[in-house]
Amino acid sequence: VILITQLRMQKKLHFFHQLQGADLLSIRIQEDDFDPGLIYNLVGKDRKDIGAKVAFTGLVKDFFELDEVTSLYIEHYHSMAKTQLKNICQAALERWQIKEIHLVHRVGLLKPGDNIVNLVLASHNRNDVFQGGTFIMDYLKSDAPFWKKEFNRKGSAWVNQSLDDIQKMDSW
């Protein structure tokens, strides 16, 4: 038990150093859960040029339309997904005065209430982090190669891209 705890701490400390370094952009795709509070607290730590931080954490819902969801499987093509997430975040960095972007997206089998995605942005002002965060999430929902398969009592089905998500992305 002590060894497992030490390994988990080393993993968190590695992520901590990654966030504290000169990295302006950090993107992770992983099966393991994450701690949104830890990530939020590490973003902008010890910086004096940050005036605003915004965090978004997406969770697995227990419903889709009228059906109860028992689990969700998220599939991805790793190198393509990481490249596309980087491109989306880079576009936000070029458009707004954002100092840091940290994005974690989970894949694999998840259950209702599990974390799926965590996005934390830091900037001089609130408008840039609110706008940048909305932009990133709108593009992530429609333009990143993640595929969701929902399971319920009746069986399973792949989730189709919604017209609403496409319209939000196109509005930018």
Q: What is the pLDDT of residues 24-53, one digit of tens each?
A: 899 999 999 999 999 999 999 889 999 999
Bridge partners, 30 (sequence order): 106
Local confidence band at 21 (pLDDT 50, 70, 90 cut-offs)? very low
pLDDT of 12:
52
Report pLDDT for 73: 97
Complete DSSP assignment for 33-62: ---HHHHHHHTTTT-SS--EEEEEEEE--S
pLDDT at site 79: 94
- DSSP track, 121-150: EEESSHHHHHHHHHHHHHHHHHHS-EEEEE
Mean pLDDT of the chain: 86
Tell me: the pLDDT tens digits for 135-156? 999 999 988 999 999 999 889 9
Per-residue model confidence (pLDDT) at position 5: 43
Higher pLDDT, residue 157 or 114:
114
**pTM, rounded to two decimals:** 0.83
Amino acid at 6: Q
pLDDT of res. 13: 46
